[in-house]
Amino acid sequence: MPHSFKITSAKGGQFVAKYVYNAETIFWSENYAGKDSAKNAIASLKKNAPGASVVDTAKGETGKGYRFELAASKDGQTFVRFVAANGETMVRTETYKSKSSAKNAIESLKKRAAETPVVDEA
């Protein structure tokens, strides 16, 4: 099972939703107080990520609705946020040295989200 969504335990009895390739976490959520919230985040990603637009905030681009945002970190690297229609960040990636690596993370989620299995490890 190369790609999967995982629900894992976090500090304080909380839960995290992750999009994983083999053992590498590509996207992860904030900590949620309830497991149902993590499940809802994954359901939303499965539904909305495939058709979401991509905007490059470093180029001054903005977007509305569900979208991937390419953003610059303080050290000049690039990371990705998946933002909900209400403007809240749902998941993010690590920082990448190259923007092309960040774009690969986006394409992976866009292409595979709908069919990716969910594994509950919490």
pLDDT, one tens digit per residue, over 52-74 is: 999 999 899 999 999 999 999 99
* Contact residues for 87 (Cβ-Cβ < 8 A; gap 6+): none
Low-confidence stretches of the chain (pLDDT < 50) are none
Residue 60, classed as helix, strand or coil, is coil
Q: How many CB atoms lie within 10 A of CB 63?
A: 15
For the chain, what are the domain ranges?
3-113
pLDDT of residue 23: 86
CATH architecture, range 3-113: Roll (2.30)
Cα-flanking dihedrals φ and ψ of residue 44, to 5°?
-65, -40
Q: Are strands 24-29 and 53-56 parallel, antiparallel or unpaired?
A: unpaired
pLDDT of residue 58: 87
